[in-house]
Structure 1
């Protein structure tokens, strides 16, 4: 998959598109959840049928971040690198990343069609039913269909529902905040995943029989609620099952500090400080709590590990 970074106003059509047409799915696509996948797969299918290149157009940073409409958008479900990998898995040929700044935010819906889509040789656009574009989100899919006629066709994808609620990034964030990992997995169509680096902690885990990998996040990921989770970790070229605590370590800490991610991997004995690690969240085991003694903590960690092993069919 090829990556094209663009800034408005476009100076010229990117070389890879000079003599090509594209079928393009447009959206921010944070999470690349099942609803997003429906939009993207439709663009990929149309491209295959028409002989065009399949493309995804997304925006960086998040429009609401630039427009000051929410601090929560500084963190995301899928930072750009993760998004790129997921688009590639869906068979996308080209990822178009448009810099979202105040200049781009001010263009009219008609300018978006005439000065962005047409110069990129878009012959088919696929968007979700609630997609908006242009200054103050004045444009909607039906307007795009009218403005793009006759050379740009527009497909509008209906929403996808789960439990009577629209599948959305907001719904996934809410599920993670509540520790509903099963729901988040269903909405995403895959386990929720974080990437980071194994960093030095206080090394207390090994003294109580449960050595842990302390994970420093490498990107601004949304993190699940505080608590204990059954996880799979990809590190040093292999995948391991394990149990992870996301919390303040209240048994040891007297003052509240920022939460940490500590993963205990089953049957793992390597030194992996400084190694990249990927964490998949598979099940919520329990909320974080403070114990009266280190002995009680050790007993609970043992019980947590047993529950995670049972979840993965290891016990």
Structure 2
């Protein structure tokens, strides 16, 4: 899979001059959830049926972040590196990463079609039903159809519904904020995951019999609800289960500047410092709480571990 960064205008760029005919799935695609996957897979199917190249166009940073439309967009379900990896697994040939800034936000719908899509030799654009583009989102799917004539076909993918609700990044964020990783997994198609580096912590876990790996996230991930989770990860090619706490450790601290992630991995004794781990959130066990003593905390951690083992033994 080829990854091509783009910055507007691209008419004279090497990427445009070297372009070959293609289908193009367009969107931000945060999370690359099941609804997004329908758009991308349809692009791949159309490309293969017509002998074209399959491509995805995404935007970085998030348009709503650049336009100041909400602090929630400072974090992502899939930071760029994770998102691109999901595109690769779906089988995309090319990923265009368009740098989104205020200048690009001011591009008209017509200029987007004439000065972005046509130079890239897009023969068919596949978008979601709620796709918008151009200045202040003034271009809609019907606009794209009209502007694309006669050389760019447009296909609009209808929303994917689950439990009478539209699958969306917003719905996944809500599920994670409420401590429902099972719902997030249904919407994403895979467990919600966070990749980070194991860093040195306070070392307290080892002294109480539960050594932990302190994870420093490698991107601006959406942080699930604070509390204790049953998790899965992979170490040296092997699946490893465990329990994770996200929180401010109120038993030992009056206040930490931000929540930390501490994972206790079952049946693993190796040195993980400096290594990257991808934590998959399987089930929320309980909210974080302050204990009256270290002994109370140890008893609760033992209970958490038993509960997590039971949950994960039944997990597919």
Displacement of 1:234 in angstroms is 2.3
Corresponding residue for 1:120?
120
Q: Distance in 1 between matches of 2:27 and 2:199?
A: 35
Are the equivalent residues in 2 in contact too, given 1:197–1:274 (CA < 8 A)? yes
Aligned-pair Cα RMSD in Å:
1.5
Corresponding residue for 1:273?
273
TM-score (norm 2): 0.97
TM-aligned CA distance change 1:268 to 1:16, over 3 Å: farther
Q: Residues 41-76 of structure 1, C-alpha deviation per residue, up to 9 Å, x if partnerless?
A: 000000000000000000011111111111111110
Secondary structure of the residue that 2:273 maps to in structure 1? coil
- 1:202-213 map, 5 Å: 202-213=202-213
Q: Does 1:99 align with 2:130?
A: no
Secondary structure of the residue that 2:313 maps to in structure 1? coil
Instruction: List gaps (5 residues or longer) in structure 1.
Output: none
Corresponding residue for 2:29?
29
- 1:1-315 map, 5 Å: 1-12=1-12, 14-15=14-15, 18=18, 20-313=20-313
Displacement of 1:16 in angstroms is 8.3
Are the equivalent residues in 2 in contact too, given 1:30–1:76 (CA < 8 A)? yes
TM-score (norm 1): 0.97
Displacement of 1:14 in angstroms is 4.1
Q: Residues 241-266 of structure 1, C-alpha deviation per residue, up to 9 Å, x if partnerless?
A: 00001111111112343111000000
Secondary structure of the residue that 1:280 maps to in structure 2? strand
Q: Distance in 2 between matches of 1:19 and 1:192?
A: 35
Q: Residues 124-161 of structure 1, C-alpha deviation per residue, up to 9 Å, x if partnerless?
A: 00000000000010000111011101110000000111
Are the equivalent residues in 2 in contact too, given 1:235–1:278 (CA < 8 A)? no
Are the equivalent residues in 2 in contact too, given 1:235–1:275 (CA < 8 A)? no
Secondary structure of the residue that 2:114 maps to in structure 1? helix
Are the equivalent residues in 2 in contact too, given 1:13–1:119 (CA < 8 A)? no
Q: Distance in 2 between matches of 1:70 and 1:7?
A: 24
Q: Distance in 1 between matches of 2:169 and 2:142?
A: 23
Query: What is the aligned residue count?
Result: 315
Secondary structure of the residue that 1:312 maps to in structure 2? helix
Are the equivalent residues in 1 in contact too, given 2:19–2:119 (CA < 8 A)? no
Instruction: List gaps (5 residues or longer) in structure 2.
Output: none
Secondary structure of the residue that 1:279 maps to in structure 2? strand
